[in-house]
Amino acid sequence: MLKIALPNKGRLADDVRALLDDAGLSVRVQSDRALIAKLGDEYEAIFVRSQDIPEFVADGAALVGITGWDLVTESERALVDRLDLNFGRCRILHDGQTTVTEFKQAMAAAGIPTRRTW
């Protein structure tokens, strides 16, 4: 199951949930205090503080994460910036060990584009 680290609260979390809903991946949680939720049948969301997402991805606890670029640069972890989501300086990132093909397949399956379309 593909694990995605997501912000647990705030405006960024609201924007990310809207993006996932638009991609057909509504968050299914057991309670409003849940730390883990299902995203469709193949994905699992891990809800953590936005500033912890680079650590979760770099340490392998999540394959990809969505967080602000400023938090990625402040973490000083070696991560790959895959996509600017055009809200809140938000990016999709991964640990660099996943191949580009694997990453693109996972994002395509989720209905999330891997290229800018403007």
Q: Give the residue extent of every domain in the chain.
A: 2-109
DSSP, collapsed to helix, strand or coil, labels residue 102 as helix
What gap in Å lies between CA 60 and CA 57, rounded to an integer? 5
* First CA to last CA distance, the chain: 31
DSSP, collapsed to helix, strand or coil, labels residue 15 as helix
CATH 3.40.190.10 fits 2-109, yes or no: yes
pLDDT tens digits, 23-65: 888 777 666 666 888 887 888 899 999 999 999 999 999 998 9
Strands 27-28 and 36-39: antiparallel
List, in order, residues 6 or more apart from 108 with CB less than 8 Å away: 114
**pTM exceeds 0.75, yes or no:** no
